[in-house]
Structure 1
């Protein structure tokens, strides 16, 4: 770390720069003068646990609603597996989105980047090299799009909203151009891609385990590594993080690259589930991902959040979608409900921040 603080007196003292986001910069007593990394893992542990328990209660309530309204369809093994498979696609994207939002940004391009990755991976040229290259292509395209977005934000100094909105439009347009607006089928000889969705272990398809692995890795990185602590620091107070020696621009670039990587993995999952690559994949997934992150307790202003909360948010929204479908409600009704939930969640966040602690 390169930044230092010098106190005005001879006695060492501790100074902190803290705010609502949870960022902190402190000089340890004892003489080295080097500021510690800010910590801000989402507020008090007790409040996080209460929030998570609230989400679990919401899941139980939604399950009860499903059992009452559609007793013959909701509790079937096929429906449960379908819920988890859909949650896997959105959930992997949400893990990357959680990192970005905790780091003080936002990524509106996730659905379009996933679509582009799926189209690129299912072109005739790519499929001729086999399923391994298809999977690698999807991940590389997603990561590359994330890197480009990160460069525009970190070094081009575009605000995240504008940069990711531009990527949303450009990636969707490129996907349409490459596919000529046609759905591209995964060839039979590349059925190893489809096997990720059809092969089951303990009754669950492999895509669910991919989601679980990404979520577990995200939790470990966010909570047990220096990278995770720096993410909270950058989102909580970028200037304090810079003074603490963190390369804020490079870290922000890495966050968007990580989000793009998750989009590439999600593209692989949706290719496995649908055996297609399409420019229509991931439509409005950015809404679902951001909504899940907010519902999970992550602050839109950055510096606070949890992977566990985001995953619970994904399950809540996926279950709501499933209940709407089973009860024959229109897609427009789903969007209205999701929009209302987002507004309520943000209002509750603002109220919580204003409450005395």
Structure 2
């Protein structure tokens, strides 16, 4: 309480007479500058790039030439592509302060509907119809989620959890729990083709990521998404139709799940209700590790892409070294917890509260 009265009376010449205070000031300034750097989007992405580089070094040391070759890097990219497309859609939802637990089940439902015999027969000679059907199913599921959340005022966690169960059950009913083989040659030939030696599946992921980055960072839609996540009430008072925008966000997440379903169909040549199991958790993990705040108000597509690549590389390193999937899951859990703890720490510093 005495500091406000003593501070104004302290002469400017007191600084040289107090070497202790002069010596301690620069370190605190350095620490705050470092904290500001790593709490920025660029700083977080640099941290992810460093972590990814270290993981590549570990793979090179432990697996040698089996890991450090062009074909293996393409395998990592293809592995990241499907989850990556799903994660881009989830990034928008989480940035707005929501959550979508249903994207994995919606992916499975989209793959089943798109691989129905009637759809494939109708798509003979025009395979994009299969893609359209898969995306349409995803958009319809997202529309249902968004309407229930925005207008039914159901908590996003519960609404999307219900869709997770319902979409998986509907996929089982439609497919009668049987695997449906994809026999459309045009569809398979396109998605198994490549451009400049890189699979079309990877290029689709790149296009979705670039489009997502542009939408989030360079459009009114993206600014409204961030505003809703930061303070939905303030966004509404500023003229944003929060309910309608929320519906759009879940439709976008559903569309991404539908696109990912077509990519998975081309890789497995089969539509089944088991497709996409636990994909929602992998997508959310990549989004959080990438730097998007779970409470909303901040999102980064670049960070999400790096998060997906980080987990895909981790899986590849573990596979190359013949380590069990159980160990992989433990490692993923540690990474996720570490990412959330860092988020909380930097969020506290940005908010001015002392960090532990």
Normalised TM-score (structure 2): 0.85
User: How far did residue 45 of structure 1 move?
Assistant: 9.3
Q: 2:38, 2:44 within 8 Å by CA — same for their partners in 1?
A: no
Shift of 1:78: 2.6
Instruction: Check 1:296–1:268 CA distance in 2 against 1; reply closer, same or farther (3 A cut).
Output: same
Matched residue, 2:290: 296
Query: Residue 138 in 1 paired to residue 138 in 2?
Result: no
**Which contiguous aligned blocks of 4+ residues in structure 1 show a shift greater than 6 angstroms?**
43-46
Q: Note closer, same or farther for the CA distance 1:78–1:180 as it changes in structure 2 (3 Å cut).
A: farther
2:66 paired residue number = 73
Aligned residue number for residue 37 of structure 1? none
Deviation of 1:137 after TM superposition, in Å, equals: 0.5
Q: 1:214 to 1:173 in 2, by over 3 A?
A: same
Matched residues in 1 for 2:190 and 2:85: separation? 15
**Whole-Å separation in 1 of the counterparts to 2:88 and 2:285:** 12
> Gaps spanning 5+ residues in structure 2: where?
1-35
Residue 108 in structure 1 maps to residue 71 in structure 2: no
List alignment gaps of at least 5 residues for structure 1.
1-42
Within 5 Å, give how 1:163-242 maps onto structure 2.
163-187=159-183, 190-242=184-236
Please list the CA deviations of residues 261-302 of structure 1 after superposition, one character each: whole Å capped at 9, or x if unmatched.
Answer: 000000011111111111111111111100111111110000
More helix by share: 2
Partners in 2 of 1:209 and 1:223 — Cα distance? Answer: 21
Alignment: residue pair count: 313
Deviations 1:92-121, CA, capped at 9 Å, x for gaps: 001000000001101111111001100100
Which protein is bigger by CA-based radius of gyration? 2
Selected match of 1:321 from 311, 315, 323: 315
Once residues 181 and 336 of structure 1 are traced to their aligned partners in structure 2, the CA distance between those partners, rounded to angstroms, is 31
Instruction: Give the Cα–Cα distance (whole angstroms) in 2 for the partners of residues 324 and 176 of structure 1.
Output: 32
What is the distance in 2 between the residues matched to 1:309 and 1:102? 12
Residue matched to 1:349 = 343
Q: C-alpha separation between the residues in 2 aligned to 1:57 and 1:140?
A: 39
Return the alpha-carbon distance in structure 2 between the equivalents of residues 148 and 98 of structure 1: 19
Task: Tell me if structure 1 keeps the 8 A contact 2:141–2:251.
Answer: yes
CA contact (8 A) 1:196 1:269 kept: no
Q: Is the 8 A contact 1:193 1:275 kept in 2?
A: no
Question: What is the match of residue 157 of structure 1?
Answer: 153
- Measure the CA separation in 1 of the matches of 2:88 and 2:130: 22
Larger mean CA deviation between 174-183 and 232-241 belongs to 174-183
Pairing partner for 1:309 from 303, 308, 314: 303
CA distance in 2, matches of 1:308, 1:320: 18
- Summarize the Cα distance change of 1:45–1:332 in structure 2 as closer, same or farther, 3 Å threshold: closer
Task: Give RMSD over aligned pairs.
Answer: 1.5
Q: Offset at 1:44?
A: 7.6
Aligned to 1:86: 79
